[in-house]
Structure 1
Amino acid sequence: MAYEIHIYRSDEISLEEWLSLCAQDQSIQLTNEISGTNPSTGQVITIADRNAAIWTSPESGQKWIFDYRRGEISFAHSDAALSKARDIAGVLGASLRGDEGEEY
């Protein structure tokens, strides 16, 4: 299981705010499903999630998933995704915290 960081604030981030941010940021694309390939078996696993978005790093072209759920936006920790998350948090007036409660 990946370590996640969460974009949050004391009043929940609304789904409408998240969708609006995604619509205004061309590097973020909303998606109806998330897929990944098991590196050991090659099996493709797909999960329906209409509130997730895929961010593509302009530097590397690598893709990262930002997932809206329960008033927060969560993502698997990486330096590239952390940089984008800080941008998102700034727009939303939010902060970043890890799974163990530490602030970023």
Structure 2
Amino acid sequence: MLSFLKKLFGLESSNAGDFYPQPVGGDEDLVQLVKFMVVRMVDEPEAVQVRGENNDKGFQITVKCNQSDIGKIIGKAGKNIQALRALVSGAGVRGSRRVSVEIED
């Protein structure tokens, strides 16, 4: 468990690469935030694809990854995805935007 937390917060070298977003504020930064978090949750970070698009309900961020990693993103009883959505939604409120996060099968 401790090694997972170290990997999650970047305290231990991992396959996540040198992906470190620079905070500025905007839609692309929300996409970068989601990618930063998701890459550290999964076993195969190279397979993670995150894209954002405007729709009639606001801004939607879609995460695509390996089928075996979807459970890690969702978490036990949906706790991980719920927390990720809360973070992104809160950041979107700062910009007066409605933001949603979806996982693509």
Answer whether TM exceeds 0.5 for this pair.
Answer: no
> Which structure is higher in helix share?
2
Q: Which has the higher contact order (CA 8 A, sep 6+)?
A: 1
> Which structure is higher in strand share?
1
TM-score, structure 2 normalization: 0.30
TM-score, structure 1 normalization: 0.30
